[in-house]
Amino acid sequence: MTDQTHPAHSSFSSSPAAGEGSDDAVVSRRADVDPSDAASKRVFVRTYGCQMNVYDSDRMAEVLGPQGYRTTDTMDDADLVILNTCHIREKAAEKVYSELGRIRKLKDERGPEGKPLMVGVAGCVAQAEGREIARRAPVVDMVFGPQSYHRLPDLIARAARGESVVETEFEIDEKFDALSRQAERPTVRRAPSAFLTVQEGCDKFCTFCVVPYTRGAEVSRPLAQILREAEQLAAGGVREITLLGQNVNAWHGEGADGRPWGLGRLLRRLAEIPGLDRLRYTTSHPRDMDDDLIAAHADLRELMPYLHLPVQSGSDRILAAMNRKHTRDDYFRLIERIREAAPGLALSGDFIVGFPGETDADFADTLDLVRRVEYAACFSFKYSQRPGTPGATMADQVPEEVKTARLIELQALLTEQQQAFNRSRIGMRMEVLFEKIGRMPGQITGKSPWLQPVQVEAPQDMIGSIQTVEIVGLGSNSLFGRLVAGHNDRAAASGAVSKEDAI
């Protein structure tokens, strides 16, 4: 179950990009335990933020499965509640404390009934706040950062003995090893789409961002571990994998040939895995888009024609203040090269308005960049001060009312572009990966090559298949289509099919 909102303009993507998104998502995850087992314990995981946190929550559920836990969508039913937190947005920590206040009341109510409730705070707020959470919120039994969740069974055992558990060490290699061992467990049936973390941390130190302080330096997961997990996912029925990283296109590793590999070579190797028909990756930094990765977009049928490439601002002066280490012209030249290699590729991005010192002229440069690039979808946010980041103490903080006005104007332009892109899909035939039951009776929902939800009237047994669909209409947040007769599930996703293609 996913219940997700975004504080600003949202794209069709199912959740914000890793390290760049909202902290308002709520996701409950499934542990691999037989739900008919009445003796099993229940865990409720509330996930805030980016796709990396969604991936981490999935892994927490899997770690807890062998310990007898299964997930529940209702906090009141839980024996263990975990808040997997995000530190990207303003007042993120205060939102966590507010939620903990509500959980404290639940825990107090449960006490006299003899139904104990264990509470954990995980993720980036836990990493940043550490023992302060334990001090301010005695209801919390465990505080652990994003590099420690693989130790959950031990942390739970220590908390059950009455210990106040705070684990915020950066043992990323140990975590990757644990993920690799987890991937070698017996194959379980999975959803058609899955996330796979290949890189964590960031060395860019953008002045608005807390990721280098909460996730640590850039670390690439070893190639062999990635391949093992991808093969297990494919064996479990996964047709599409999205590679995750705070700077995913900075991934590098040593190949079987002993030579250094980049993300482009990794994608080529993943495309060889039987049953794995679609590949995506997020979030990318413009500085790490090398020639081989761009060529992969031209060469790989499996690599979907959609790229999330945040620029954050269209003003060179603001980009320098953000420490982005690229200019607007650098970005334009990069987009030109990408589109030359893959003409059908659609772009999404991230924008921050109201960064300290941003003038009307700077904001006009951002609007100009958006008009020139023409995005299919974007996330946009008002700048929020993050304690511990250089931007928080900069002079010339922009008044809130100015930020709000600029965000409204930017979002109007982005919405106009998104709607134009969606209208251009009407009449087009495309390959759709069906993932779940739709909202209306007889309807199933799939995903277009450009990450748009597609609603089709079709039998439920088509979930997990890739079918050719003709787009016949638009909704506010999705496309509507009909199955094309005679076009059955393909061995590999082919992206768009031309409007002229006959049935």
What is the DSSP pairing of strand 346-353 with strand 306-308? parallel
**How many H-runs (helices) and E-runs (strands) does the chain carry?**
14, 24
Query: How far apart are the C-alpha atoms of 39 and 437, rounded to whole Å?
Result: 30
Residue 127 CA, distance from chain mean position? 19
Query: How far apart are the C-alpha atoms of 56 and 234, rounded to whole Å?
Result: 19
Contact, 474 vs 448, CB < 8 A? Answer: no
Contact, 402 vs 474, CB < 8 A? Answer: no
Helix runs in 381-458, H state only = 400-423
Bridge partners, residue 496, by sequence? 430
Query: How far apart are the C-alpha atoms of 125 and 148, rounded to whole Å?
Result: 13
Contact, 110 vs 74, CB < 8 A? Answer: no
Query: How far apart are the C-alpha atoms of 74 and 210, rounded to whole Å?
Result: 31
Q: Is 378 annotated as a binding residue?
A: no
Give the chain's radius of gyration (CA, Å). 23
Query: How far apart are the C-alpha atoms of 134 and 168, rounded to whole Å?
Result: 13
Q: Which of 479, 485, 480 is CA-nearest to residue 467?
A: 485
Amino acid at 270: L
3-state SS, residue 68: coil
Query: How far apart are the C-alpha atoms of 295 and 365, rounded to whole Å?
Result: 30
Query: How far apart are the C-alpha atoms of 278 and 239, rounded to whole Å?
Result: 6
3-state SS, residue 26: strand
Q: Which of 87, 124, 82 is CA-nearest to residue 103?
A: 82
The structure tokens listed for 495 are 């992206």
Q: Which of 325, 256, 263, 266 is CA-nearest to residue 289?
A: 263
Q: Which residues are annotated as a binding site for [4Fe-4S] cluster?
A: 50, 86, 124, 202, 206, 209
Please report, in range form, the residues annotated as the binding site: 50, 86, 124, 202, 206, 209
